């Protein structure tokens, strides 16, 4: 942001960028205090009037764990509407995702705490704000604070559905949330592998119900809190009786391999390429204890008895290998000799050649190869005349074939958050060759779009 607002609020440091604005850490020169400047670019006077009205209505709300609106105004030099917010300790949550690892219990506590904050705001009519990590702040008391609560966030980032996505980010450390709930559950399954199987299924069941709109905010919070006492309530279940003789024998179903395990692991590896998260430390593997006493002696004796048989097998194996490789070598030598003789015969002069016949053979006409056409240059689709309002339905623009800079401008013109990945491909350098979601997918202003940029071969 350029200049100051009424010569009172001066921006000092950029906190993060928005699709249509910027968030700064600034100073209130009049009261000598730090403030947060939440700036939004205004395309026209109608948008300015509507947005200022939303800010005035929201300034009456002073809920706990919300950044209160202290003042608002217009920066005439940059045509930017600015909301002056009361600062909070800590950092933006989007900057902490991926850097800080939260345990399962810590993630549940953070989500439940935010849910209580949301329920209090809902009771006062503040219901449409986004709980995506980009709109949240993590203070030094390890509480989540909401920044923008006057705008309507995308549907998948509001309410219980938004909390499910945020829980996924806490557990996996991913910066983005998969568009498909099936992919989200599969990646969560990998992050919850340290839980007991019964608890893991219960957590996934809660998320399925919540994402389908079958749980209220209060029900979702209550069921998550029950998971914090799961191990305590089922501690006696972990004490297993001594196995009987029949139980010691492995059953046919237990010995049968799972044909879907490898496929599931491969799917998880593919999904991790699109959603980057922090690396999880591998569990330590302890070596099996060595046998002691009589058991060790019995094992040594068995090995000594087996040595002659092993020696006989090794000699027979070597003889077979020599026979197989020797036969293969002789076949290769014979084939090479035959080919060499044929080549020598073909180079002898007048071998079966009839001059009169050679003269009668007409020359084969050469077919003209069609000239290669140069690839057509892809031009970006025409951008909307003005950026859509927050939450307004839009169609995903076609970014494939554009340069990275053109794709960024096109995404911002449609009011979308974007991210890109640079990968090797057969496309030209700095050319977009893939996007998600695909063009013409129905979205809302403020949703995410991702594209892949080629760095050549």
> Residue 72: what are its φ and ψ, rounded to 5°?
-150, 155
Residue 297 has pLDDT above 50, yes or no: no
Residue 360 has pLDDT above 90, yes or no: no
Residue 308 has pLDDT above 50, yes or no: no
Helix (H, G, I), strand (E, B) or coil at 67: coil
How far is residue 50 from each of residues 42, 43, 55, 135, 155, measured CA to CA in Å?
Answer: 10, 12, 9, 21, 21
Question: pTM, whole model, 2 decimals?
Answer: 0.52
Average pLDDT, the chain: 75
* pLDDT tens digits, 201-259: 899 899 889 888 899 999 999 999 998 887 534 433 443 443 443 334 443 333 344 44
Which of these CATH numbers, 3.40.50.970, 3.40.50.11030, 3.30.200.20, 3.40.190.10, describes 9-85?
3.30.200.20
* pLDDT on residue 111: 93
**Pairing of β 417-423 and β 136-138:** unpaired
9-85 and 91-233: same fold?
A: no
pLDDT: is 76 or 32 the higher one? 32
* pLDDT on residue 345: 65
- CA 87, CA 37: separation in Å to the nearest integer? 9
Domain ranges of the chain: 9-85, 91-233, 393-454
39 in Cβ contact with 3 (< 8 Å): no
For residue 57, count other CB atoms closer than 10 A to its CB.
13
- The two tokens of residue 294 are 């009589």
* pLDDT on residue 193: 84
List the CATH code of the domain at 393-454: 3.30.10.20
Write 54-60 long-range contacts (CB < 8 A, 24+). 54/150, 54/151, 55/81, 55/83, 55/150, 57/150, 58/126, 58/149, 58/150
172 pLDDT band (50/70/90 cuts)?
A: confident
**Region 61-74: what's the mean pLDDT?**
90
* pLDDT on residue 303: 38
| Residue 328 CB-half CA count within 13 A | 6
Which of 64-73, 337-346, 434-443 shows the lowest mean pLDDT across its residues? 337-346
404 in Cβ contact with 435 (< 8 Å): no
The CATH-assigned architecture of domain 91-233 is Orthogonal Bundle (1.10)
pLDDT: is 287 or 192 the higher one? 192
Q: Averaging pLDDT over each range in 4-18, 77-91, 125-139, 328-342, which range is the top one?
A: 125-139
């Amino acid at each position: 942001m350029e200049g100051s607002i009424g010569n009172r609020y001066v921006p000092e440091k950029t906190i993060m960028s928005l699709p249509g604005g910027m968030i700064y850490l600034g100073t209130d020169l009049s009261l000598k205090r730090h403030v947060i400047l939440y700036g939004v670019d205004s395309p026209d006077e109608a948008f300015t009037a509507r947005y200022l009205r939303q800010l005035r209505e929201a300034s009456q709300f002073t809920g706990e764990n919300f950044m209160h609106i202290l003042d608002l105004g217009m920066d005439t030099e940059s045509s930017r509407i600015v909301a002056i917010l009361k600062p909070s300790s800590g950092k933006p949550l989007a900057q902490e995702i991926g850097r800080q690892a939260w345990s399962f219990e810590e993630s549940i506590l953070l989500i439940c705490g935010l849910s209580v904050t949301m329920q209090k705001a809902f009771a006062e009519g503040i219901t449409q704000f986004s709980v995506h990590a980009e709109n949240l702040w993590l203070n030094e008391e390890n509480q989540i604070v909401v920044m923008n609560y006057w705008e309507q966030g995308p549907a998948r980032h509001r309410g219980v559905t938004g909390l499910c996505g945020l829980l996924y980010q806490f557990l996996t450390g991913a910066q983005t949330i998969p568009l498909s709930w099936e992919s989200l559950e599969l990646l969560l399954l990998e992050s919850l592998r340290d839980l007991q199987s019964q608890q893991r299924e219960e957590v996934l069941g809660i998320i399925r119900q919540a994402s389908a709109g079958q749980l209220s905010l209060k029900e979702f919070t209550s069921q998550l809190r029950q998971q914090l006492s799961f191990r305590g309530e089922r501690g006696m279940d972990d004490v297993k009786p001594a196995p009987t003789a029949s139980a010691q024998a492995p059953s046919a179903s237990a010995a049968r391999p799972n044909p879907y395990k490898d496929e599931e692991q491969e799917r998880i590896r593919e999904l991790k390429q699109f959603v980057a998260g922090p690396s999880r430390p591998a569990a330590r593997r302890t070596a099996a204890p060595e046998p002691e006493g009589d058991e060790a002696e019995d094992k040594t004796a068995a090995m000594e008895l087996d040595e002659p048989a092993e020696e006989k097998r090794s000699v027979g194996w070597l003889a077979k290998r020599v026979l197989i490789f020797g036969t293969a070598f002789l076949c290769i030598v014979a084939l090479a000799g035959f080919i060499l003789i044929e080549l020598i015969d073909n180079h002898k002069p007048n071998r079966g050649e009839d001059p009169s016949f050679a003269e009668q053979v007409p020359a084969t006409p050469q077919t003209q190869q069609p000239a290669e056409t140069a690839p057509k240059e892809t031009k970006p689709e025409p951008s909307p005349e003005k950026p859509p309002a927050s939450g307004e339905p839009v169609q995903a623009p076609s970014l494939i074939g554009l340069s990275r800079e053109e794709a960024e401008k096109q995404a911002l013109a449609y009011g979308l958050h974007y991210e890109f990945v640079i990968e090797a491909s057969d496309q030209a350098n700095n050319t977009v060759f893939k996007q998600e979601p695909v063009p013409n997918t129905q979205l809302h202003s403020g949703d995410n779009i991702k594209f892949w940029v080629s760095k050549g071969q």
